A and B are shown apart, each in its own frame.
Chain A
């Protein structure tokens, strides 16, 4: 199943005409490039947001001077204000600091999950994409079987076997995602396998193995970053659900799902601990989806 595309971010970016050197001086700032290429506002915003996310996960202390784990009890449950941008939680910890420090957990587990699922999906998808009906049938049924388990429940089963923790939910989400990735890679492999230039290479007398290594494999692999970007958002979404259930990182880790689970106890008196981490998840997922869809539309059909 391909991800449904979001029409509002329709961005048929025209191929650049050769740069005329006169205009080059004035147009090399990022904003100018965005305007010149007629990139939609939402896409630019998403790129900027993701850049901030990456910065926040590498160096969170650049954005806040509060400690995400240690709070001041006398400052407990203070509403958002100048001192505490997102307010404080029950233990007096700064919610903004916790949200910023939480970025790395969501991104790390999300990317880890995609890496596991995509790694297995690449191998299986390429096997299924060869001209071998029996192999194709076997691997495709394997995907059917795996995808007949609802993702969240399958991930819960794997966590039961492996135990709770960050690495284990990344593995669990990755395994649950194998059919999704595998099917995309299979389709991509078939597309390239049947492309004219691959047929040509075979006509020139390259062996099947040479054709595969020199032509099919590299052209399947260039699509991988795009596939990863398209699915990173939905993976982060599932991961946050599992950590909300208490299956991933444990308190006091400032992970977004964990923070939201903790916020449920104070909802009656304080809204802010239950709002900002969720906003962070949603904004992250939206930003990655927008970028993923843009890449997908831009490169659609051009990789074959």
Chain B
């Protein structure tokens, strides 16, 4: 079991290192001087020299690379020359609303998916066809359009929720639902199919023959088995939530990482975009590693191997 966990940790470190290296290589592979790429849409006297000094551009490529790696290990992501602020401050100050949104939406999506899958897996033809159609519709709906529809219905017509901003819990409701539903659509599909496969297994018949109620069978026995394929989606889920949060924030005019990133893309503020992307990759790698290890600990079949 331990060798499995250690090798999983090692692979994740390699992937994280590879993503840092890839961004370094990409910066150097781009046409044009790195000073100009990093500066973005601003120009003030002494800027190029300052950038060259900060990134050590006069040194050899391997030296620059080692410096780049060690800076990232120290949590120093450089300076945004457009905003004239250290990147980590720019990103850090906007992290909370985005994490709040992504987490709420993630939990909501898991609850919705679990609930629907528990109730509909292996049921009659009609209810199954209906739910799979609804899942397909939600998985095919663009996040931002869903947001626009919800805004129209609940903010402009019913006036239940504010149109924009991030103050108070009621400004979180619509963005969280918006972000959760398309994710829930895909998650339900996977979870339901896994449950249907499990329901066909002989042990379910055994449990049923003991007179255990259907919902108890599903909750206590089937769901646990069906979680494995769903857990492998964990990394994808987190990546999707982070990416979707950017778009959702734009729809609802919510402050957060998305607004910062979008502004940075439009002003070509490379250090900021680079940091957001790298942080997202780290979060993704860390979370999926954690889930995989958690699963080795939970599932006795994986432990035995």
Chain A interfacial positions (CB closer than 8 Å to B): 1, 4-8, 141-142, 144-154, 156-157, 159-161, 164, 233, 237, 240-241, 244-247, 257, 260-261, 263-264, 267-268, 271, 274-275, 277-278, 281-282, 285-286, 289-290
Distance A278 CA – B262 CA, assembled complex (angstroms): 22
Q: Which residues of B contact A233 (CB under 8 A)?
A: 140
Chain B interfacial positions (CB closer than 8 Å to A): 11, 14-16, 18-19, 22, 26, 30, 37, 128-129, 132-133, 135-137, 139-145, 148-149, 151-152, 156, 186, 189-190, 193, 233, 235-236, 238-240, 242-244, 246-247, 250-251, 261-262, 264-266, 268-270, 273-274, 276-277, 280-281, 284-285
Interface pair A289/B136, CB less than 8 Å apart: yes
Q: Which residues of A contact B250 (CB under 8 A)?
A: 244-245
Interface pair A145/B22, CB less than 8 Å apart: yes
Interface pair A153/B132, CB less than 8 Å apart: no
Q: List 26 A-B contacts (CB under 8 A).
A: A1-B233, A5-B193, A6-B136, A7-B128, A8-B133, A144-B15, A144-B18, A148-B239, A148-B281, A148-B285, A149-B280, A149-B284, A152-B244, A156-B246, A157-B273, A159-B265, A160-B268, A164-B266, A244-B144, A245-B250, A245-B265, A257-B142, A274-B148, A282-B142, A286-B140, A290-B136
Most interface-central of A151, A244, A271 (chain B CB within 10 A): A244
Partner of A161 from the list B30, B135, B189 (CB cut-off 8 Å) is: B30
Distance A286 CA – B148 CA, assembled complex (angstroms): 19
Partner of A153 from the list B156, B235, B277 (CB cut-off 8 Å) is: B277
Interface pair A153/B236, CB less than 8 Å apart: no
Partner of B270 from the list A7, A149, A161, A290 (CB cut-off 8 Å) is: A161
Partner of A263 from the list B132, B148, B189, B238 (CB cut-off 8 Å) is: B148
Interface pair B129/A150, CB less than 8 Å apart: no
Interface pair A160/B265, CB less than 8 Å apart: yes
With A160-B268, A264-B251 in contact, is A154–B277 under 8 Å at CB?
yes
Interface pair A275/B149, CB less than 8 Å apart: yes
Q: Which residues of B contact A264 (CB under 8 A)?
A: 148, 151, 251
Q: Is the interface of A mostly helix, strand, loop or mixed?
A: helix
Distance A161 CA – B25 CA, assembled complex (angstroms): 13
Distance A19 CA – B250 CA, assembled complex (angstroms): 57
Distance A161 CA – B265 CA, assembled complex (angstroms): 9
Partner of A267 from the list B152, B233, B243, B246 (CB cut-off 8 Å) is: B152
Least CB distance from B264 to A in Å reads 7
Q: Which residues of A contact B37 (CB under 8 A)?
A: 161
Interface pair A271/B137, CB less than 8 Å apart: no
Interface pair A152/B142, CB less than 8 Å apart: no
With A150-B239, A154-B277 in contact, is A278–B15 under 8 Å at CB?
no
Q: Which residues of A contact B132 (CB under 8 A)?
A: 6-8
